[in-house]
Amino acid sequence: MLALSPPELVELIVSLPPSRTPFIWGPPGIGKSALVREAAELCGLPCVTLLGTQLAPEDLIGVPRLRALDAGGERFATEFCPPRAILRPEPFVLFIDELNSAVPDVQKAFYSLILDRRLGDYELPEGSRVVGAGNRIEDRALVRPMATALANRMLHVALEPNADAWLGWAAGAGLHALVLAFVRARPERLCEPPPSDATPAYPTPRAWHMLSDALDSVGEDLWPAVAAGCVGDRAGAEFAALARRARLAPSLDELAAGRARVPDDPDLLYFLGAACLARLGSASPDDGRLVGRALAAVALVSKEVAAWVVDTALRRSDDRPARVAFVAHLRASGSPVLADIVRLGRFVADAPSATTLGVGAD
């Protein structure tokens, strides 16, 4: 099967006919659930998640009850009451996670749901979508053989980690600048196979997200322990080393005012770029203009870092005041350095061009 990047997977889920069911193969913590929720949001549908490992057959088929067939109550028929979670009047996305970890009887209960969108007498509302997902045998997760009759009812794709796509999402989601800087500097650390020695912590997109949340709430003296506990000893030690060096980086305010020199250490440059992206989440337009001035200084040392910041900022569709002011700064500054960054042409098709931004026009 072919491997898709996160944006490609979202596009596939949204584009497929509602009657067809994709099954996503990928390691734990890679972001399968989040991408399905994103696709559901783009479809304008609520997302309901069922975990195959936590289901019994009756959880899907429903509990039987007797229904009177005549007014006198002399004739009865058995009918099954579908589970409340999927008993909905409007279409929705049903995400069946860990489907291939379910016991065989539960897998069989999904046959008619996946093929016919039906559970007993209950049919999913017209326009509903079903998406399945599960881990692979090589992930050393709980995986059971999938019956060929079930597998043949679905379209199978693999999800592969993509550092650029994840960093774009992480910047928009407000993840910690140190996490962004580390993954940008060492993209191979975003996702690694589970350790062969059964070490519980190792790098995955989910683990980096957990680390980001922890950094915002624990003291810096605990950062090395938290990093090791989230992403493993090796990646955690490398992250802690970067965090220590980041203390030497000048502030964006100092760079914008011309009171500090831009360092040439690649790790510190990535940290400054990540700090710029974090600042663009501010509610103050002044922060956006400050980022523009600081980034012009960074671009004199590293156009690659500056291009990453501009590219990520232009790809985001939010209307936060700092980001809006930053784009306006690009449009009005006329900076030849920023014009060179825009000319790199790394932006999505609908991003502003150099001419549109007002910089670099001949």
Q: Is 128 found in the same domain as 199?
A: no
Provide the residue range defining the domain that includes 83: 3-159
Q: 233: buried, middle or exposed (CB in 10 Å: 19+, 13-18, 0-12)?
A: middle
* Whether residue 286 sits in one domain with residue 173: yes
Q: Which residues of 135-163 are buried (b: 16+ CB within 10 A; e: fewer)?
A: beeebeeeebebeeebeebbeebebbbbb
Among 143, 159, 175, the domain-final residue is 159
Of 137, 159, 181, which closes a domain? 159
Shared domain for 274 and 308, answered yes or no, is yes
pLDDT in tens, 222-275: 999 999 999 999 999 999 999 999 999 999 999 999 999 999 999 999 999 999
User: How many domains does one find in the chain?
Assistant: 2
Confidence band for 69, pLDDT divided at 50, 70 and 90 = confident
- Specify whether 232 is located in the same domain as 296: yes
Residues 73, 133, single domain; the answer is yes
Q: Are residues 95 and 23 part of one domain?
A: yes
Indicate if 269 and 294 belong to the same structural domain.
Answer: yes
Residue 216 CB neighbours (<10 A): 9
What do you get for the CA distance between the two ends of the chain, in Å? Answer: 47
The verdict on residue 29 lying in a domain is yes
Question: Residue 112 belongs to what H/E stretch?
Answer: helix 111-116
Does one domain contain both 290 and 209?
Answer: yes
pLDDT at 347 over 70: no
Comparing 93-102, 196-205, 276-285, which segment has the lowest mean pLDDT? Answer: 196-205
Tell me the pLDDT tens digit for each residue of 223-234. 999 999 999 999
| Same domain flag for 139 and 220 | no
